[in-house]
A and B are shown apart, each in its own frame.
Chain A
Amino acid sequence: MDFLFQQLINALMTSAIYALTASGFSLYFGVLKVLNIAHGDTCTIGIFIAMTLNSLALFSGIYQILSPGLTILLILVISVALTGFAGVLTQISCIKPLRDAPTLVVLLVTVGLAIGIPEGIRLIYPQGSNPHTFPTILSTNGVHWAGVPIRYDNLLIILTGIFLFILLHLFLTKTRVGMQIRAMAQDREAALMMGVNLNLLYSFTFFLGAVLGAISGITYGIYYTIVRFDIGFMNGLKGFSASIVGGLGNIYGAVLGGLIFGFAETFAVALIPHGSAFKDVISFLVIVIFLVFRPTGILGHRIYERV
Chain B
Amino acid sequence: MRRMKAFVFTSVLLALSILTGTATAQKVVKIAFLGPLTGSVANFGIGARNSFDLAIREANKSGQLKFKLEGVALDDEANPATGVAAATKVVSDSDIVAAVGHFNSPVALATIHVFHRAGVPIVLWGTTDPSITKKYNYPEVTRVLPTMDVQSLVASEFAFNKGYKVWAIIHDSSDYGKKAKEDFSTAIEALGAKVISIDSVQPGEKDFMPILTKIKQLQPQAIFAGVVIPDGALIRLQMKKLGMENVFYIGPSGITDVKFNEIAGDAAEGTVSIHPGVFLEKIPKGRKFLESYKEAGYKEPVSAAGDVAYDSANIVIEALKKVGPNKKELAKAIRNISYDGVRGMISFDEFGQTKLRAVTVMVSQSGKWIPWEDSDYAKGLKKLPGQR
Chain A residues with CB under 8 A of B243: 149
Stretch of A170-178, A270-278, A284-292 with 4 or more beta carbons under 8 angstroms from chain B: A270-278
Taking a contact as CB atoms under 8 Å apart, the answer to whether A133 and B42 are in contact is no
Q: Which residue in chain A gives the minimum CB-CB distance to B77? A: A129
A-side contacts of B173, CB under 8 Å: 277
Contact A131 B230 (CB under 8 A): yes
Of B199, B202, B209, B263, the contact of A274 (CB 8 Å cutoff): B199
Q: Which of B40, B173, B206, B240 has the most CB of A within 10 A?
A: B206
B213 touches A10 (CB 8 A): yes
Q: How many whole Å from B241's CB to the nearest CB in chain A?
A: 6
Known: A140-B240, A226-B230. A277 touches B206 (CB 8 A): no
Q: Given contacts A129-B39, A130-B38, A274-B199, is CB(A269)–CB(B242) below 8 Å?
A: no
Q: Is the CB of B200 within 8 A of A277?
A: yes
Complex Cα distance, B210 from A7, in Å, reads 6
Give the number of residues in B that approach A within 8 Å (Cβ atoms): 28
Most buried by B among A224, A267, A276, A279: A276
Identify which of residues 219-268 in chain A touch chain B, using a CB-to-CB cut-off of 8 Å. 224-226, 265-267
A266 to B210 alpha-carbon distance, docked (Å): 6
B-chain residues with CB within 8 Å of residue A151 when the two chains form the complex: 241
**Quick check: is B356 within 8 A (CB to CB) of the other chain?**
no
A29 to chain B, nearest CB (A): 27
Task: Answer whether A277 and B199 are a contact pair too, CB < 8 Å, given A10-B213, A226-B206.
Answer: yes
Q: How far is the CA of A50 from the CA of B217 in the complex (A)?
A: 37
The answer on a CB contact under 8 Å between B262 and A269 is: no
For B199, the chain A residues whose CB sits under 8 A away are 274, 276-277
Answer yes or no: B207 CB below 8 A from chain A CBs: yes
Q: Please, how many angstroms separate the alpha-carbon atoms of A274 and B38 in the complex?
A: 31
In the complex, what residues of B have CB within 8 A of residue A279's CB? Answer: 201-202
Q: Which residues of A contact B240 (CB under 8 A)?
A: 140
Choose among B42, B202, B213 the residue with the greatest number of A CB atoms under 10 Å from its CB.
B213
Instruction: Check A3 for interface membership: any CB of B closer than 8 A.
Output: yes
Given the known interface contacts A129-B42, A131-B230, A226-B234, the answer about A274 and B210 at a Cβ–Cβ threshold of 8 Å is no
Q: In whole angstroms, what is the CA distance A11 to B173 when docked?
A: 23
Taking a contact as CB atoms under 8 Å apart, the answer to whether B241 and A280 are in contact is no
Partner of B207 from A14, A149, A267, A277 at Cβ < 8 Å: A14
A225 near B234 with CB under 8 A, answer yes
- 0/1 per residue, B180-202, Cβ < 8 Å to A? 00000000000000000011111
The listed residue (A133, A140, A267) touching B241 by CB distance below 8 A is A140
Given the known interface contacts A130-B38, A276-B200, the answer about A270 and B213 at a Cβ–Cβ threshold of 8 Å is: yes
B42 touching A270, Cβ below 8 Å: no
Contacts of A6 in B (CB 8 A): 209, 213, 216, 242
**Cα distance, A140 to B211, chains bound together (Å):** 19
Q: Please give the distance in Å from A2's CB to the nearest CB on chain B.
A: 9
How far is B208's CA from A266's CA once the two chains are assembled, in angstroms? 10
Assess whether A276 is in contact with B237, with CB atoms less than 8 Å apart: no
B66 located at the interface, meaning its Cβ lies under 8 Å from any Cβ of chain A in the complex: no
Assess whether B263 is in contact with A225, with CB atoms less than 8 Å apart. Answer: yes
Of A133, A224, A276, A280, the residue contacting B210 (CB under 8 A) is A276
The answer to whether B40 touches A131 (Cβ under 8 A) is yes
Contact assessment for A133 and B263 in the assembled complex, using a CB-CB cutoff below 8 Å? yes
Instruction: Say if the beta carbon of A22 comes within 8 Å of chain B.
Output: no
A130 to B36, CA, bound (A): 10
Cβ of A152 to closest chain B Cβ, rounded Å: 11
Quick check: is B287 within 8 A (CB to CB) of the other chain?
A: no
B201 to chain A, nearest CB (A): 5
Distance from B226 Cβ to chain A, minimum over Cβ atoms (Å)? 13
Q: Considering residues A10, A265, A270, which has the most beta carbons from chain B within 10 angstroms of its beta carbon?
A: A10
The residue among B199, B201, B207 with the most chain A CB atoms within 10 A of its own CB is B207
Q: Does B214 contact A (CB under 8 A)?
A: yes
Q: Is the CB of B202 within 8 A of A280?
A: yes
Residues of A within 8 A of B201 (CB): 276-277, 279
A88 at the A/B interface (Cβ < 8 Å)?
Answer: no
Q: How far is the CA of A149 from the CA of B207 in the complex (A)?
A: 18
- A269: chain B residues at CB < 8 Å are 210-211, 214
What residues of chain A lie closer than 8 Å to B230, measured between beta carbons? 131, 226
Report B-chain residues with C-beta under 8 Å of the C-beta of A267: 210
Known pairs A13-B209, A140-B240, A224-B206; A3 contacts B38 (CB<8 A): no
Q: List the B side residues contacting A133 at CB < 8 Å.
A: 262-263
The A5-31 residues at the B interface (CB cut-off 8 A) are 6-7, 10-11, 13-14
Q: In the assembled complex, how far is the CB of residue A9 from the closest CB belonging to chain B, in whole angstroms? A: 8
Docked CA distance A113–B211 (Å): 35
Bound-complex Cα distance A224 to B237 (A): 10
A-B contact pairs, 13 of them (CB 8 A): A6-B209, A6-B216, A7-B214, A130-B40, A131-B230, A224-B207, A270-B210, A270-B213, A274-B198, A274-B199, A276-B200, A277-B201, A280-B202
With A11-B210, A129-B38, A149-B243 given, can you name 8 additional A-B contacts, CB distance below 8 Å? A3-B214, A3-B216, A129-B39, A140-B240, A225-B263, A269-B210, A269-B211, A269-B214
Q: Which residues of A contact B (CB under 8 A)?
A: 3, 6-7, 10-11, 13-14, 129-131, 133, 140, 149, 151, 224-226, 265-267, 269-270, 274, 276-277, 279-280
**The 4 A-B residue pairs with the shortest CB-CB distance in the complex, in nearest-first order:** A129-B38, A269-B210, A277-B200, A224-B206
